[in-house]
Amino acid sequence: MTLHLYYQDDQLIAPVEVLTCQPHDELFAATLHATPFHPQGGGQPSDTGWIGEAQVLRVTQEGQQIVHYLPQPLQLGLQEARVDEKRRRLNSRMHSAGHLIGHFVQSLGWTPIKAHHWPGEGRVSFKPGERPQAVDRIQVQRALEQWIGANLERHITMESGTRQVRFGQLPAYGCGGTHVHQLQELGPVSINSVSEKKGTLSVNYSLD
């Protein structure tokens, strides 16, 4: 089982131990004892970066292992891993904005069912609870502006083995993704549309 370094801290550079490295299609697949790389999943794209001199092109969760795909083989043993900062930052901002949309729309009686925090395609989907209220795009926009303006701080706790992430006093979400420390790191978020189709409400958003 690969340990997730990014669960506890946001260190983008870390010493790592390469345990295995095997040819895989045109690439090489490597596993580490513990990794700072976030794999694709939970609505969030994977981190990229480097292990030693080798570029990490994509990272996936495969069962209990996190697998790093590289164009060249890695020597086993100690190496330095570096996560691409620009991409991580953008993914964390997109993902954190998705939390806020989830909180606000949930407060109007909707249950989040799916989140897609990919740049250019940001979307959170909801199904109606017992008494769902109408959701207005401007209202969502204002709620986010208020929380971002208050610069709420991120808190991460582990509860019965589940990682809980919350901003300020907003409710916590069980979540394995990466997030900003403070909401002002988000910058302006645009709620582009709120639409309803076959009972599913979709909120589309982007970062400016």
The residues binding Zn ion (CB under 5 A) are 165, 175, 177
Nearest residue (CB) to Zn ion, 49 versus 177 = 177
Task: List, in sequence order, the alpha helices (H) in the chain.
Answer: 85-107, 137-149
Nearest residue (CB) to Zn ion, 48 versus 92 = 92
CB of 201 to Zn ion, least distance (A): 20
CB of 177 to Zn ion, least distance (A): 4
CB of 173 to Zn ion, least distance (A): 6
Closest residue to bound Zn ion by CB: 175
Nearest residue (CB) to Zn ion, 27 versus 156 = 156
Q: How far apart are CA 61 and CA 181, in angstroms?
A: 24
User: By the 8 A CB rule, do 116 and 43 touch?
Assistant: yes
User: By the 8 A CB rule, do 57 and 50 touch?
Assistant: no
Q: How far apart are CA 137 and CA 158, in angstroms?
A: 34
CB of 156 to Zn ion, least distance (A): 10
Residue 65 structure tokens: 């292992």
Q: How far is CA 104 from the centre of its chain?
A: 18
Nearest residue (CB) to Zn ion, 31 versus 177 = 177
